[in-house]
Chains A and B, each alone.
Chain A
Amino acid sequence: MSPPTLPQRERLVLELLLDGPDFGLNLVARSDGALKRGTVYVTLGRMERKGFITSEQEPQAPGAIGLPRRIYRVTSLGKRALRAWATLARALAPEPGT
């Protein structure tokens, strides 16, 4: 099995979710255009399969019609992946004077 990767868009989702659980649409709004409505759910689904985030349906009020919204939260694996990425990025950053 190949190790999980962490593309830029997934890093952004993890960073946004570190502030607290959120809906896909809100993540798009908070990303300042970096996330798009057409791709955010694909990204979220992929990250959930990797184990970086988890999701659950929002509880609905009695009598509510329509589909329950899905709320996403970061997992401990996701937090560790983000920390590891930050460490790697620091380690690979060009040293002053090189």
Chain B
Amino acid sequence: MSRPAGTRLWRLVRPWLPTVSVDVLDPAVADLQYEADHALSAADRRRVILRGYVAIVRGLVLSIEPGEAIRTAAALFALSGMGTLLVTTARAARVDGRLLNSAILAPVMLAPVILRMLGTMASSRLFVGSVIVMLTMLLTGGVGLNAPGGVWIFLRHAVVALILFAPMGAAAALVAGTDQEGLPKRVVMALSVGSGVATAALVLARWPQGEPLSIGLAMTPFYVVLFAVLFTLTLLPSLLVARLFVARPAVLAIVGLGCSPVTLIAGAYLDHGTIRACLDSLRNTPISFAAWSVPFMMGAIAVGWRLPTSGSSHKLFHGS
């Protein structure tokens, strides 16, 4: 049996539409399918489908509330402009790489939050907003890809930048979206909370060492992403396996604490470049190294505490 008319369009478009437009799409496609099924001939069926598609497109366009569309477009425009300005200024001032990365990441991660405040609910649409901001920053030269080298070099760098930064936008969209609570969202929430706790601890720990609090705060996006990546690679697999056997948040928090040295070693390796340099640092400045490990431990505890129940973890491994 062939697929009912309009099914492909319905599947493709529906996830991206606001509720008002879904209320137009669903009955329009259902009536189109009914009419196409009752067409007298193949030619009649084709005519019905064509007329139906035209009507659906017209209905969808009419269902868009101009106020919402204009607000969203203005917010994306403002965020892209702010991001471009921020990154261009940071590059001109030759600031620390962590600040530069924060300037790129901040608009990408802020976009879903701002759009959510303006009334966009679905994570998929929030993610698209984040990618639009990222693409606009790339195209306007905000990310610094406008150096000489030709179109292909630019495109290659742009794709790499998208691959690197899109997951951050996706995570921010999952956190900000109001979609049904599922395991992916809870895992991302746990990693976000853990990374936030670790970043706050790091910024506060560095404050007495002479680093201005404002600089620490400006680097927040970079550190949140850094901790999230480290926790995902070193902590999350162990915690998810542990979650199959224990369900209590307190126990998982202890497991997280137990695994935190792995994250710490990975972080130290990133900071010092070689294992030997890490060991030298540990030998020469043990107190400083111990203080540096506190954010990792606090973050790992928070990730373990916030992870979902074992039942949900079971579902993750069985893909349901």
Residues of A bordering B, CB below 8 Å: 23-25, 36-42, 44-45, 48, 55, 65-70
Contact of A69 among B7, B31, B54, B59 (CB under 8 A): B31
- Within 44-91 of B, Cβ neighbours of A (below 8 Å) are at 51-52, 54-59, 62-63
Known contacts A37-B55, A38-B54, A39-B58: A70-B4 contact under CB 8 Å: no
Closest-CB distance, A43 to chain B (whole angstroms): 9
Residues of B within 8 A of A (CB): 1, 3-4, 7, 10, 20, 23-24, 26-31, 33-35, 37, 51-52, 54-59, 62-63
Chain B interface, DSSP helix/strand/loop, else mixed: helix
Contact check: which of A36, A38, A41, A69 meets B34 at CB < 8 Å? Answer: A69
Instruction: List the 5 closest pairs (A to B, CB-CB), nearest first.
Output: A38-B58, A37-B55, A66-B4, A70-B27, A67-B30
A65–chain B nearest beta-carbon distance, Å? 6
Which secondary structure characterizes the binding site on chain A?
helix
Q: What distance in Å separates the Cβ of B302 from its nearest Cβ neighbour in chain A?
A: 42
A69-B33 Cα distance, complex, nearest whole Å: 9
Select one of A24, A36, A67 contacting B4, CB under 8 A: A67
Closest to B19 in A: A45
Nearest A residue (CB) for B23: A45
Interface contact B27-A65, CB-CB below 8 Å: no
Q: Report the minimal beta-carbon distance from A48 to chain B, rounded to whole angstroms.
A: 7
User: Cβ of A38: which chain B residues have Cβ within 8 Å of it?
Assistant: 54-59, 62
Whether A65 lies near B4 (C-beta < 8 A) is yes
CB pair A67–B1 under 8 Å, yes or no, is no
Given the contacts A37-B52, A38-B62, A42-B59, A69 and B23 also touching, CB distance less than 8 Å: no
Question: Across the interface, which residues of B come within 8 angstroms of A24, CB to CB?
Answer: 27-28, 31
